[in-house]
Structure 1
Amino acid sequence: MLIDLPDLPLPGRGDTLERLRGLAALGRADLVACRLAEGHADAVAIRTELGDEPGDDGRWGVWAAAPSTVRAERAPEGWRLTGDRPWCPGAAWCTDALVTAVAEDGIRLFAVRNEGPYAQPLEGTWPAIGMSGSDSRTVRFTGAPARPVGGPGEYAGRPGFWHGGIGVAACWYGGALAVADTLLAAARSKELGPHALAHLGAVDVALGAAWAVLEDAARRIDAEPRADAGRLALRARAVVESAATEVIDRVGRALGADPLCRDVMHAQRIVDLTVYLRQSHAESDLEQLGHLLVEEGAPW
């Protein structure tokens, strides 16, 4: 798969909004390509933040979905990783990956070369329809040479962990824009009737609210890049997820089954976005946000 890797600004350095705009544009154009490009861009940000300065050295993924099923052991010649890591976007596309693994001193992040015989994508572990092109197979590591990136717990404990989560929400937002484009194009080409126009108006409201939240998040990240952004990210992700879900529903109600059955690109966008949105942890994330509000107080 040929993907142009974007040169996006790093988060928290004054241009976070441009980063989110770039990710949204990628999502609007192609959610699968966006998913892989976002992983690469996130890897660049992570490595920079944790002192593993990146160069122009390959196509990176971040394979760190919890819980970790890979173990890290320190051998005389360096660290080695062994175990199966599910949910690895770009399992064959990535040349390198940041992988979480359980070490004797806690969960660590490692840079690993994605090549045999040490790393092997497992056939049959991604029988997906939505986001099928992301090739998120399980990768089996067998004594894979690895380089630690940061110390124990640093990957998830840094503010940038949450900045990356907001970046994913920008990708969702871009996917929702692409779905909304189908309704807008239909409304411009023929008379759809008052109900469909009401759905179009509601789509605009949902997307406008979601982008306002992303803009606010970008501003806050740049103002306080080292602040704990957990509450900010959980709120932004929930708002964008809700907006994208509403867009999918309203476009379907406005246009019926026709574009789902006759427009292959629209149908693929719907299934891709539906799968991508499930990177949200739904009520679990809302519960976590609720706990933070109780502990820290509500901003409102």
Structure 2
Amino acid sequence: MNATQEARSPKAVRISSTPDELADISPLLDAAAAGVGDVPALLALAKDVGETAPKPGTGSTAFLWEILASITAVDVAAGRILEPHLDAAAILAQAGAADFDDAPVDLPFDGTWGVFAAEAPGLRLEAQDADGAVVLNGSKPWCSIAAQLDHAVLTAHLDGGGRAAFAVDLHAAGVSFADPEWTSLGLREVPSGTVHFDAVPAIPLGPAGWYYQRPGFAWGGMGVAACWFGGAVAVARNYAESLKKAADGGREPDQLALAHLGEIDRTLTGLTQYLARTAARIDAGELSGAGAWSEALRVRGSVAAAVERVQSLVSQNLGPAPLAFDARYGKRMADLSLYIRQHHAMRDDAQLGALTFKGDHPW
């Protein structure tokens, strides 16, 4: 299968849905394949998907993750653009359903959205009272393609301490975008830079801490892992097709190549079963309490480790040629390597270990 054929016939990534259910994803995958490298087209796809995609915890979490994984398998950057848009939709829905002391949140989900919650030394975004309203002042780092988005859910520091989430119009007066100075060869279409806010009106989405304490925070983190999983599946599919192509040309895979394919198979099959079980637990209400974040750390860590292992095995077997001469393969490997760095490796494991030490574990 060459790159053109792969682009013409994208295949969904199955977690637990039936083939008929997955068939509904096919038009989305065709659109993702047609939009590779075209950010406006991928944003238009995100808007279309956002109108119909299920929210996590509402009975179809596995299908949501299949959408994320399948589009990322077509193009990692497409998944990277889609995921925060769907996460923002979920956050607004969760804020709308929450029982806050103030008036309930009721925001239309229109346009394109990002989610910006990262922090960086020397940069601080503050939410301040302005005659009963809230305005944002300061700077927010790691805001991916912010200049091309309409809205964002972001976190800001409060005068009384802590951080809270807010919805903001990125076209509002007082919003300015620094040059991202993005030099990465991975996710070149999705540069992250700093956004500056000067007395920009914002709508609160819950009190201090709500953004991080809600179960949806953990669910959203697992949605990112579903994207990583889709990227790993695409790398594995590419490897299997390469072995078949070589065999068709008279070069049968040796024992080492088959052993690595077998390891990839059991790794991805195990993750598929884990994601299916976890999605079912979310929908059953079993991951809506204190244990949700522990499970998110397990899922994210397991998927991130699997991605790196699959990439390593495939790179060792295929050698330098596809990295040098296959643009689609090289792009996927570079995009995925950068994307999984959202996982903080041993620091996340240390956080999980602290929770485990307190007794938050299933064993």
- State the TM-score, normalized to the length of structure 1: 0.95
- In the alignment, what sits opposite 1:30? 75
Q: Which amino acid aligns with 2:205?
A: V
Give me the whole-angstrom Cα distance separating, in 2, the residues matched to 1:50 and 1:18: 22
- Match status 1:240 vs 2:314: no
Q: Among 292, 297, 300, which residue is 2:355 paired with?
A: 292
- In the alignment, what sits opposite 2:33? none
| Equivalent pair of 1:92/1:135 in contact (CA under 8 Å) | no
| Equivalent pair of 2:294/2:360 in contact (CA under 8 Å) | no
TM-superposed deviation, 1:76: 2.0
Give me the whole-angstrom Cα distance separating, in 1, the residues matched to 2:81 and 2:194: 16
- In the alignment, what sits opposite 1:102? 157
Residues 135-170 of structure 1, C-alpha deviations (whole Å, 9 max, x = no match): 222111122111111111100111110000000000
- Match status 1:159 vs 2:215: yes
Question: Where in structure 1 are there 5+ consecutive unaligned residues?
Answer: none
Residues 187-232 of structure 1, C-alpha deviations (whole Å, 9 max, x = no match): 1111332222221111111111222221121111111252230111
- Match status 1:112 vs 2:174: no
Q: What's the RMSD between the two structures over aligned residues? A: 1.6
Q: How do 1:258-277 and structure 2 match up within 5 A?
A: 258-277=321-340
Q: Which amino acid aligns with 1:55?
A: P
Q: Among 280, 303, 317, which residue is 1:219 paired with?
A: 280
Give me the whole-angstrom Cα distance separating, in 2, the residues matched to 1:213 and 1:140: 40
Q: Which amino acid aligns with 1:153?
A: G
- In the alignment, what sits opposite 2:5? none
Match of 1:108, SS state, is strand
Deviates more, 1:126-135 or 1:151-160: 126-135
Match of 2:197, SS state, is strand
| Pair 1:127–1:138, CA change in 2 (3 A) | farther
| Equivalent pair of 1:108/1:151 in contact (CA under 8 Å) | yes
| Pair 1:77–1:297, CA change in 2 (3 A) | closer
Give me the whole-angstrom Cα distance separating, in 1, the residues matched to 2:289 and 2:215: 6
How many pairs were matched up?
Answer: 300
Q: Which entry has the higher C-alpha Rg, 1 or 2? A: 2
TM-superposed deviation, 1:77: 6.5
- Match status 1:255 vs 2:318: yes
| Pair 1:10–1:79, CA change in 2 (3 A) | same
- In the alignment, what sits opposite 1:179? 235
Give me the whole-angstrom Cα distance separating, in 1, the residues matched to 2:129 and 2:360: 43
Residues 248-300 of structure 1, C-alpha deviations (whole Å, 9 max, x = no match): 00000111111111101111111111111010111111111111112124312
| Equivalent pair of 2:69/2:227 in contact (CA under 8 Å) | yes
Q: Among 87, 111, 130, which residue is 1:58 paired with?
A: 111
Question: Where in structure 2 are there 5+ consecutive unaligned residues?
Answer: 1-38, 97-104, 248-252
Deviates more, 1:267-276 or 1:212-221: 212-221
- Over the matched positions of the two proteins, sequence identity in percent amounts to 38
| Equivalent pair of 1:109/1:148 in contact (CA under 8 Å) | yes
